[in-house]
Amino acid sequence: MNQSHDPAVTQPPEDAVEAVVHVMPVVLPLVGAAMMFLLAFIAVKMA
């Protein structure tokens, strides 16, 4: 139990970028694949 709940001890807030950056190698290819599928679907639907 290293963390203290004492309000006098201030801890820096967690950076939003650092909270998300470890998930990026999984999220980016999935979003890219979904976009390619949707764009191909639209192109086939319009043809």
Confidence (pLDDT) at 10: 74
Compute the distance between CA of residue 5 and CA of residue 9 in angstroms, rounded to an integer: 8
> Which pTM does this prediction carry?
0.59
pLDDT of residue 43: 97
- Which tokens go with 40? 């191909």
Q: What are the helix (H) ranges across 1-47?
A: 16-20, 24-46
Q: In whole angstroms, what is the distance from residue 40 CA to residue 34 CA?
A: 10
Asked if pLDDT for residue 34 goes beyond 90, the answer is yes
Question: If you average pLDDT over residues 22-47, what whole number do you get?
Answer: 96
pLDDT at residue 46 tops 60: yes
